[in-house]
């Protein structure tokens, strides 16, 4: 079985992720007609697997419980003929993104905090399968992310209802400012960015803050349409 020599280091796990990703991307793009044909709704629960040798496979879920690896979404074939083809493919892509992440962090269960953070940064630097399949391009000019698999973690909604993502090292939305974001500091306490803590960005000065430093919880952030940090609130108050 493929788990016999399972990846252990960040680099090995990322290579495994990239290979599996390449396989499923091929299934959903170059080999899409073949993939579509294999997903017969009259068959049993089918799954899309990406393998470490960059191949893909549509097959039944693993028989053993629990399986050696997290399983992809079951029954992707059932909805095939009841949806627009593009919508169905994008739905499979979203579930596949979730599966790829779950496999990577399952394999990385023994990684320490900094290693997990580095693995997430490497993964986050690639377009998601959903973005590739739907041909969406990363947004370059503002820190918002429209892909569901990218908006995990600390986030708040901006004026237009989009989820604004916290600053992530090596996020492709900020390719020109990569160095700046790897050194993001809290505007209040000056502490370094930490992926394990909730952060919120000021919509006026565009600085980032620990939620705890400005007394904003994730739940409270969800109800704020436009966040103004304490400094900008005071400036506005004086005018």
What's the mean pLDDT in 59-64? 91
Report whether pLDDT(153) > 80: no
| pLDDT score recorded for residue 182 | 52
Report whether pLDDT(146) > 60: no
Task: Determine the longest span between alpha carbons in the chain, in angstroms.
Answer: 68
Write the pLDDT tens digit of every residue in 15-31: 999 999 999 999 999 99
- In the chain, what are the helix, strand and coil shares in percent, each to the nearest 5? 45, 10, 50
Report whether pLDDT(144) > 80: no
Q: What is the pTM of this model?
A: 0.57
| pLDDT score recorded for residue 137 | 58
Report whether pLDDT(180) > 70: no
How far is 212 from 124, CA to CA, in rounded Å? 25
Report whether pLDDT(181) > 60: no
Question: Which residues sit opposite 57 in a β-bridge?
Answer: 49
Write the pLDDT tens digit of every residue in 75-86: 999 999 999 999
Higher pLDDT, 182 or 44: 44
What's the mean pLDDT in 144-151? 42
| pLDDT score recorded for residue 72 | 95
Question: Which residues sit opposite 200 in a β-bridge?
Answer: 209
Contact 91, 83 (CB under 8 A): yes
Note the helical H segments in the chain.
10-28, 32-38, 85-107, 113-124, 129-134, 178-182, 218-222, 230-238
Percent of the chain at pLDDT above 90?
A: 50
| pLDDT score recorded for residue 237 | 56
Higher pLDDT, 181 or 212: 212
What's the mean pLDDT in 113-120? 94
How far is 39 from 34, CA to CA, in rounded Å? 9
| pLDDT score recorded for residue 58 | 97
Identify the sign of the CA torsion 102, 108, 114, 115. negative
For residue 172, name the pLDDT band (cuts at 50, 70, 90). very low
| pLDDT score recorded for residue 152 | 41
Report whether pLDDT(142) > 50: no
| pLDDT score recorded for residue 189 | 82
| pLDDT score recorded for residue 183 | 64
CB count within 10 Å of CB 125 equals 15
Residue with tokens 């169905």: 88
Q: In the structure encoding, which two tokens stand for residue 108, read together?
A: 């990385």
């Amino acid at each position: 079985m493929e788990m016999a020599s399972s990846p252990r280091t960040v680099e090995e796990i990322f290579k495994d992720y990239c290979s599996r990703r390449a396989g499923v991307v091929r299934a959903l793009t170059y080999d899409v007609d073949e993939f579509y044909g294999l997903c017969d709704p009259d068959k049993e629960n089918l799954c899309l697997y990406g393998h470490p040798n960059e191949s893909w496979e549509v097959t039944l879920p693993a028989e053993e419980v629990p399986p050696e690896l997290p399983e992809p979404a079951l029954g992707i074939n059932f909805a095939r003929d009841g949806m627009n083809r593009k919508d169905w493919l994008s739905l499979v892509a979203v579930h596949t993104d979730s599966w790829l992440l779950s496999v990577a962090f399952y394999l990385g269960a023994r990684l320490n905090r900094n290693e997990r953070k580095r693995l997430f940064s490497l993964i986050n630097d690639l377009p998601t399968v959903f973005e590739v399949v739907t041909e969406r391009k990363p947004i370059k000019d503002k820190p918002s992310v429209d892909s569901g698999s990218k908006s995990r973690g600390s986030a708040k909604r901006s004026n237009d209802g989009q989820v604004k993502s916290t600053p992530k090292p090596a996020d492709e939305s900020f390719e020109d400012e990569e160095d700046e974001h790897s050194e993001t500091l809290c505007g209040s306490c000056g502490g370094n960015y930490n992926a394990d803590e909730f952060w919120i960005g000021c919509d006026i000065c565009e600085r980032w803050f620990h939620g705890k430093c400005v007394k904003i919880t994730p739940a409270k952030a969800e109800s704020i349409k436009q966040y103004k940090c304490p400094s900008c609130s005071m400036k506005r108050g004086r005018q």
